[in-house]
Amino acid sequence: MAVIPRTAYDWEITVFSTDGRLFQVEYAREAVKRGTTTVGIKFKNGIALIVDKRITSRLIEPSSIEKIFRIDEHIGCATSGLVADARALVERARIEAQINRLTYEQPIQVKALARKICDFKQTYTQYGGVRPFGTALLIGGIDDTGVHLFATDPSGAMMEYKATAEGEGREAAIEYFEKNYKENMSMKEAVELGLKALIYATEKKPEKHAVEIGIIEEGKEFRIMASKEIEKYFEDVAGEE
């Protein structure tokens, strides 16, 4: 059996390849691409985060799979990629949010939190003995500057969006959003658009119990939808088809 030659920059996080690439960061992005499809949509006065949990066995309890997390009263996030890595970043984000409240006696701004998490992720692309986080977070929230949705990359890059996606069906979901997203949608319209994007991206209708939805609305705290409420949206989407 032929042995494939390896180069130092193929496995060293601190070494650039000859064409200026960090392969370990790119491998982390591949871990995200293999993750479940996750979408985020900005509507008139809030953000909707929707995740396909991709239940692989009928023996799994769907409620045991967490892909959407509450960071603070006004901020939530959805993840695609390695869930264990995401939990570590969520804990870090929660600590940063509480530090801001204790220090300045006010909630942290969404952009400031996203930047702190990205700065933390970026440090894991510089030092030996560590690896990049193999997860992408969609961070959505509302602060005194408005409604914000940020996507974070394993490299530590961040970008603000009106609607975006991560995971296996990212390109198809974004293509769907490009064609169908509208400004100033209602929450109902945004959730239904997100579910349709999931269906379009996965090329099949997700199971009701395998979808998780997080909502943040102006004047209200971030919440994860109850299963009965999710079922109602599924029925509405099915009725339009």
The pTM of this model reads 0.92
Per-domain boundaries in the chain: 31-240
Distance CA 49, CA 31 (A): 20
- CATH number given to 31-240: 3.60.20.10
Question: Any alpha helices (H) in 105-151, and if so which ranges?
Answer: 110-123
Active-site residue among 36, 37, 38, 152?
Answer: 36
Distance CA 109, CA 101 (A): 11
Q: Is it the case that residue 228 has pLDDT exceeding 80?
A: yes
The average pLDDT across 96-124 equals 96
Distance CA 114, CA 228 (A): 31
Q: What's the CA angle centered on 193, arms 189 and 111, to 5 degrees?
A: 85
The answer to whether residue 36 is catalytic is yes
User: What does the pLDDT look like over 45-102, one tens digit per residue?
Assistant: 999 999 998 887 888 888 888 999 999 999 999 999 999 999 999 999 999 999 999 9
81 strand-pairing partners: 135
How high is the pLDDT of residue 213? Answer: 96
Percent of the chain with pLDDT over 70: 95
78 strand-pairing partners: 68, 138
